[in-house]
Amino acid sequence: MDNAIVVVDNIYRKLERGNRPTEAAIFGTQEMFLAIAASTFTTVVVFLPMLFIPGVIGIFFSELAVIVTVTLLGSLFTAVTFTRCYLSMDEGYLQPGEKINPSATLRIDAEWCWRHERIKVVCSVLRYLGKHV
């Protein structure tokens, strides 16, 4: 499970209880930090010993260990910094005490994507060209 999902869920729970966005972001992240840090470091501790496997198999497993470790630590860093900052600045999105309907938000996003197919195609082509040219 991604760390940011846990943090965002807790921040929205604080918003539903009436906290302002800045307070909800600060306290919601603080409440979840120990739990997500413990789960992240538990997984990192499992993968790090793979760095010391000898031979050809060790080469493959060491790459896996590095990729998983860097990804997990990046996820933890993003969850406790960028996610909190982004949601604390979102003053107009959700008013304190307002209930959240995630399916309605997802539906609105999906409808926008269906209405703007040309924008999606142009962005995809530009992304491809930017990456491969």
- pLDDT at position 42, please? 95
pLDDT in tens, 29-74: 999 999 999 999 999 999 999 999 999 898 889 999 999 999 999 9
Quickly count: other Cβ atoms within 10 Å of residue 87's Cβ.
Answer: 23
| 70 shares its domain with 116 | no
Count CA atoms closer than 13 A to 44's CA, side-chain side.
15
Mean pLDDT lowest among 4-13, 84-93, 121-130: 84-93
Give the range among 25-34, 36-45, 82-91, 121-130 with minimum mean pLDDT.
Answer: 82-91
Tokens 């993968």 sit on residue: 47
Residue whose pair of structure tokens reads 């197919």 in the numeric block: 117
Which of 18-27, 32-41, 90-99, 116-125 bottoms out in mean pLDDT, i.e. has the lowest?
90-99
Q: What is the CATH number of the domain that holds 27?
A: 1.20.1640.10
3-class state of residue 93 by DSSP: coil
Cβ count within 10 A of residue 21: 21
pLDDT at 133: 66
- Please tell me the number of Cα atoms within 13 Å of 4 on its side-chain side: 15
Residues 95 and 132 in one domain: no
Q: Are residues 95 and 105 in the same domain?
A: no
